[in-house]
Amino acid sequence: MVRAPTLAQATLQSPFPIDYTEAGAGEVVLLIHGSLCDYRYWRWQIPQLGESYRVAAASLRGCWPRAGTHPDPGYGIATHAEDMIALARALGEGRPVHVLGHSRGAQVAVELALRAPEYCKTLTLADPGFRFAHEAPTPVFYTPAVALLEKGEVDAAAEQFIDTVNGAGTWRKMVGWFKQMVRDNAATLLSQVLEANRPVHLEEIRRIQCPVLLLGGSDSPARYGTRQDQLQAALPHARREVIRLAAHGMNLANPRAFNRACLAFFGATG
């Protein structure tokens, strides 16, 4: 019987306090969460991945447990990427790490890979939702949620956001810990909307040389699949897998399949 790795909480103090939880030993896997989340989002990944790797899940700047005040113009992809570079450098002790980003966290992960390729051993992008530079800006789907937040209607805002990215009725069916995590981070949308439609340039994506894994939920909204289509065209060497019986929150809906895909990818590039 495999003993589950011991979980630990820690804080990196440079250049801004970065709270993270970690478990395991060996090569480092850095997990980067998406919107309305924090390091608690990875509760089903840390124990299993931690049996083979040193897994660290960070809470991005401005998220719980240091939520701060929003809107905050300093809350952005570039700032978060620099923070994650600092964490990758510290945890890896100068060696590259496996970087995994989900949803908005995938854009942070891409930025990390472009800014500091020397710290990125592999790059896993789970349902990235960013706009590409050659595409026209689109209406921000969570504008109604922002309006509700401004009126203090946190749960209604959370429901609008979660049901849009994962399917109608998702919020109502979510378990208590997940709902509390979303409530704790709901105000970040007031900052996130300030850089909505921030583009990713395909010519920069083509510079990525490390192994890449694209993960999508079989039931995710179609727009996430179109992001992966374009990434795969720009990165012919990228692997792509679909997590069955799961939508956008694939790592929670089908953690066994999600973890298995990640472990196989990390192992193949070890």
Q: Is 26 left (phi over 0), alpha (psi -120 to 50) or beta?
A: left
> Does 3.40.50.1820 match the CATH number of domain 8-136+198-268?
yes
Task: Give residue 142's pLDDT.
Answer: 97
Task: Give residue 159's pLDDT.
Answer: 98
Is the model's pTM score more than 0.95?
A: yes
Task: Give residue 3's pLDDT.
Answer: 55
> Residue 21: how many CB atoms within 10 A of its CB?
20
Q: Which of 21, 28, 83, 89 is nearest to 57 (CA)?
A: 21
3-state secondary structure (DSSP) of residue 217: strand
Task: Give residue 207's pLDDT.
Answer: 97
* Complete DSSP assignment for 140-187: -TTHHHHHHHHTT-HHHHHHHHHHHHH-TTHHHH--HHHHHHHHHHTT
Query: What are the pLDDT tens digits along the chain (270 aa)?
Result: 445 677 888 899 877 899 999 999 999 999 999 999 999 999 999 999 999 999 999 999 999 999 989 999 899 999 999 999 999 999 999 899 999 999 999 999 999 999 999 999 999 999 999 999 999 999 999 999 999 999 999 999 999 999 999 999 999 999 999 999 999 999 999 999 999 999 999 999 999 999 999 999 999 999 999 999 999 999 999 999 999 999 999 999 999 999 999 999 999 986
